[in-house]
Structure 1
Amino acid sequence: MDIVKELEQLEDKYYGEWEEEKQPLIDALLKLHAQVGTDENLFNRFLVQCSDRFGGAYVPYLFWDKLAYFLQSPEERAYLQQLLKSFVESNFDEDEQKKMKPLLVCYFATEKKFEVDKVRALVIDKSHPTVQDYFHKLISFVEKNQKSTEMYVEKFRLLKEIHPDFNLLNLPITQLRDKMQNA
Structure 2
Amino acid sequence: MIFPEGTCTNRSCLITYKPGAFIPAVPVQPVVIKYPNKMDTITWTWQGPGAFKILWLTLCQLHNEFIIEFLPVYTPSEEEKNNPALFAHNVRRLMAKALDIPITDYSFEDCQLAMAEGQLRLPVDTCLLEFAKLVRRLGLKPQNVEKVLQEFGNRARKMEGEKLGLEDFAHYLDVPVSDMLRDIFSLFNE
TM-score range, shorter chain: under 0.3
Q: What TM-score results when the alignment is normalised by the length of structure 1?
A: 0.25
Give 1 or 2 for the bigger CA radius of gyration.
Answer: 2
TM-score, with structure 2 as normaliser = 0.24
Structure with greater contact order relative to length (CA < 8 Å, sep ≥ 6): 2
Greater helix fraction, Structure 1 or Structure 2: 1
